[in-house]
Amino acid sequence: MRDDEAADGEGYYKFRSGDLLDGRYKVVGAAGRGVFSTVLRVRDTVSGNRELVVKVIRNNEVMRKAGEQELEFLKQIKQQDPEGKKNCVIVESHFDHAGHLCLVFEPMDRNLREVVKKLGGIGLSIHAVRKFAKQLFTALRHLKKLKILHGDIKPDNILVNEDMTGVKICDFGSAGFLDKCEITPYLVSRFYRPPEIMLGMVYDELVDMWSLGCVLYELYTGKILFPGKDNNDMLKLIMQLKGPFPSKKLKRAEFVDKHFDKELKFRLKSIDPLSKKVSFLFVLRKSYA
């Protein structure tokens, strides 16, 4: 099969059960699909049919570049933690197949989004949440030591093993080095996005800590902490819980005019359902001084 025939119109690998990747990894089935890739369950025919997963990056220039960048972060993580004791996924190997960059990982049972969904909104026990929290804080401490920002901590990117005793952070496709953080209003998935990202402020590893806090709340309650429709709505929900932002911080925010007037009063965005016209309402009338 030619490289251009191995992918669909969006660049995703068109796999079939029984496909042999890199001459050794036999495809058993799909394990998931995301923006960047397709994840396949495989058997390693060279090492006793050991079960593994292969992340097959979409075959286009943008995704390829993102995949190569993710691989560099994974290599650094593995170099400093070859045995995987710091609760970040460890890449076992990588190769190219039909124009797709492929990353090989140990298998985990499922992600925490699937766990919460299976529980039907009840949430985990406080014992389980504490156990997972300790492991995830260890992972964030390890990433900070490497000066790496994950940039997309959420239940989907935290994997749990079969007996629900261990978790690992995965998917470093949005990661970056702490000394090269670029201001953008859309880093981190929306429900787990900290206010400094939405406001356009200088940020650091505490971005990941905020996201993890939102995740832990969700694990315990089964509910999303800040279910905002967009950044404006997210800021409203955060202020309703935590109070208004200090004016000193708002004055240093690059995107402050998208959400606040010149007197630093919050403007809540409203969209007419028929005309789709956007208007703003002043809310949270407490002074920001």
Please give the structure tokens belonging to residue 268.
Answer: 């809540």
Please give the structure tokens belonging to residue 162.
Answer: 């079969």
Please give the structure tokens belonging to residue 113.
Answer: 């989004």
134: which residues sit within 8 A by CB, 6+ positions away? none
Question: What is the distance between the alpha carbons of residues 43 and 24, in angstroms, rounded to a whole number?
Answer: 8
Question: What is the distance between the alpha carbons of residues 125 and 100, in angstroms, rounded to a whole number?
Answer: 41
| Residue matched to tokens 């396949």 | 40
Instruction: Supply the DSSP symbol for 169.
Output: E
The answer to whether the beta carbons of residues 123 and 116 sit under 8 Å apart is: yes
Residue-level length of the chain: 289
Q: Is 219 helix (H, G, I), strand (E, B) or coil?
A: helix
Instruction: Supply the DSSP symbol for 185.
Output: T
Pick the catalytic residue: 44, 81, 109, 152? 152
With CA atoms as reference, report the closest residue to 265 among 244, 248, 279: 244
| Residue matched to tokens 């505490």 | 206
Query: Annotated catalytic, 152?
Result: yes
Where in the sequence numbering do the catalytic residues fall? 152
